Structure 1
Amino acid sequence: MALVHKLLRGTYILRKFSKPTSALYPFLGVRFAEYSSSLQKPVASPGKASSQRKTEGDLQGDHQKEVALDITSPEEKPDVSFDKAIRDEAMYHFRHLKDEIVAHWRGPEGRPLHDVLLEQAKVVWQFRGKEDLDKWTVTSDKTIGGRSEVFLKMGKNNQSALLYGTLSCEAPQDGESTRSGYCAMISRIPRGAFERKMSYDWSQFNTLYLRVRGDGRPWMVNIKEDIDFFQRRNQMYSYFMFTRGGPYWQEVKIPFSKFFFSNRGRIRDVQHELPLDKISSIGFTLADKVDGPFFLEIDFIGVFTDPAHTEEFAYENSPELNPRLVK
């Protein structure tokens, strides 16, 4: 119903205005906006149209084959069908939904179930082109008035992603903020048909596996679970990643049992295990309070099963802190 409401609202707005603007993109999607903008034709005024016809007649004598002017009279109306554009957008999502249902019947991600159960390692993100960078977003303390800068681009030979920038711990001059100095790279939440939120299921794996190359700075690896409660949007599970610096790649293996529970950057007294069956995103944060340039190069991010790691959870809980432990 929410999608129908958006489509109807977008249609009403477009019928009032002859040309769609970028403000309508959230209602009808980029594909619909591109479709409607491609159908728009300039409409000339009566005086300008007559002068253009005269100019065209003069040019036809000398350059009849080379000159081709597309002139629209005031009486002609652009052939724009917003209903057809809406149908095309809806059919696109329905086809996407059909592909998801077929893939679910065949098995997780369209693969046979026994192949998925026997899988010991999996590459979740890799960086081999611009489409891989589009799955990520970067942010810094500039959102609160800070001076840090962060950028993301493809590495050498399009075989990695390069996260770089400058960290500044200077607090914003707004009279309220007293701390600053962070840069982050966060994966976008995967989306299905009709913009439904999707999640990752890593329940059969026990270790996060990364191949990175840094400048010696420590990073925080953050994993968020798929939740719909607004009050819990700042909750995440975190652990440290220490880069060595130098020209050589390093392989980082972090067991999921080591990730601790935090809220708004503060470690909570009551700890919870990371729910591996509903992961929404992963991120990397630099906030080591050292001003200056930084870089982090990432080859791939994956998960795997380490048979030597048998630890279930690295942190203790007591009934005094967690009443749910009382039987």
Structure 2
Amino acid sequence: MALIHKLLNGIYIFRKCQITGTASHLFWGPHFADYCSSSLQKPVAAPGKSDSSEKKTERNLQGHHQTGVSLDITSPEEKPEVSFDKAIRDEIKDHFRRLKDQFMIQWIGPEGRPLHEVLKEQAKVVWQFRGKEDLDKWIVTSDKVIGGRSEIFLKMGKNNQSALLYGNLNSEAPHDGESSRSGYCAMISRVPKGPFEMKKPYDWSQFNSLYLRVRGDGRPWMVNIKEDTDIIQKKDQLYSYFMFTRGGPYWQEVKIPFSKFFFSNQGRIRDVQFQLLLDKISSIGFTLADKVDGPFFLEIDFIGVFTDPAHREEFAYENSPYLNPRLFK
């Protein structure tokens, strides 16, 4: 395509200059165009100038023209060879080479990333908190939705380098005659959406552990993971595990293997356990419900996933054939 562009450029210059014998030098490009515009255009004499001045100017122009031709234009014996077939073949070969590189090297993996990068990746930050747009990916809720008195808030931490989750836990049951228990606060990630509001589940199948950097006040939190499902009966199903904060001013790194997460439905741990499907993760959440009334806080730097080569366990819980016979058929 570059040769064709140069050819068209040269034809345009040739038609503009109207010089005999310059058709063989079409590939001089902009340099040849500058020469034509500066050296080969005869200036128009101003009114009132004498004929001798015009002749002198013409002689000077011809002399400059001859000098320029001898410097910038090659002889007919040195004209370059033009082969359109070769140019087309080279262009096609170049496109096939790029296509091969795209399939062999830039093979698309999960989330549109190159597969060779995904396979080599051992850790990945999924959520981090560096601005208000990061907080918008989360929602907070408490027992106020059922008439309780607990409060929870979410804001940016110091220097906009973390998220601060804080509030007050109150386990007093609402006086509505229906609820007998209360006292919980939660932070839940929003379900990512794609075009036409389609859900985009997370694919963590190449990792085996959850990785967090947090700083708390010593309270235990429940970490909840939800699978992506469109079945109404499964909307209350969660996979959960505990996260114990140390308290004090120091950060701690929490690593929880996915094999440790146990299955629950409507807040109750089920006897029949199922393994978490890591390629269909919908959201993650943190729940505080330790029945200790009073203020609390949890500061989060980032939430990610990683591959722990020392962890070989696939599933931490056993299922009895008496509880779920179909698993052992």
Tell me if both proteins adopt one fold, taking TM over 0.5 as the criterion: yes
Stretches of 4+ moved more than 4 A in 1? none
Report the Cα distance in structure 2 between the residues aligned to 1:165 and 1:256, rounded to whole angstroms: 29
Report the Cα distance in structure 1 between the residues aligned to 2:317 and 2:165, rounded to whole angstroms: 32
For the residue of structure 2 that corresponds to 1:221, the secondary structure is strand
Residues 182-238 of structure 1, C-alpha deviations (whole Å, 9 max, x = no match): 000000000001111110000110000000000000000000000001111110000
State how 1:25-44 maps to structure 2 within 5 Å: none
Report the Cα distance in structure 1 between the residues aligned to 2:109 and 2:251, rounded to whole angstroms: 35
Is structure 2 residue 286 aligned with structure 1 residue 317? no
Report the Cα distance in structure 2 between the residues aligned to 1:287 and 1:213, rounded to whole angstroms: 18
Residues 38-79 of structure 1, C-alpha deviations (whole Å, 9 max, x = no match): xxxxxxxxxxxxxxxxxxxxxxxxxxxxxxxxxxxxxxxxxx
Q: Which consecutive residues of structure 2, in runs of 5 or more, have no partner in the other structure?
A: 1-105
Match of 2:185 in 1: 183
Match of 1:260 in 2: 262
State how 1:300-315 maps to structure 2 within 5 Å: 300-315=302-317
Report the Cα distance in structure 2 between the residues aligned to 1:265 and 1:105, rounded to whole angstroms: 42
Report the Cα distance in structure 1 between the residues aligned to 2:308 and 2:109, rounded to whole angstroms: 24
Q: Which consecutive residues of structure 1, in runs of 5 or more, have no partner in the other structure?
A: 1-103
For the residue of structure 1 that corresponds to 2:206, the secondary structure is coil
Q: Measure how far apart 1:110 and its partner are.
A: 3.0
TM-score, normalised relative to structure 2? 0.67
Report the Cα distance in structure 2 between the residues aligned to 1:173 and 1:136, rounded to whole angstroms: 30
Is structure 2 residue 166 aligned with structure 1 residue 164? yes
Larger CA Rg, structure 1 vs 2: 2
For the residue of structure 2 that corresponds to 1:294, the secondary structure is strand
Q: Measure how far apart 1:105 and its partner are.
A: 7.5
Contact 2:190 2:283 in 1 (8 A): yes
Match of 1:131 in 2: 133
For the residue of structure 1 that corresponds to 2:246, the secondary structure is coil
Q: Report the AA paired with residue 230 of structure 2.
A: D
CA-based RMSD of the aligned residues comes to 1.1
Residues 84-104 of structure 1, C-alpha deviations (whole Å, 9 max, x = no match): xxxxxxxxxxxxxxxxxxxx9
Is structure 2 residue 124 aligned with structure 1 residue 111? no
For the residue of structure 1 that corresponds to 2:141, the secondary structure is strand
Match of 2:278 in 1: 276
Report the Cα distance in structure 2 between the residues aligned to 1:119 and 1:141, rounded to whole angstroms: 40
Match of 1:213 in 2: 215
Report the Cα distance in structure 1 between the residues aligned to 2:319 and 2:280, rounded to whole angstroms: 23
Report the Cα distance in structure 2 between the residues aligned to 1:323 and 1:154, rounded to whole angstroms: 49
TM-score, normalised relative to structure 1? 0.67
What count of residue pairs does the alignment treat as equivalent? 224
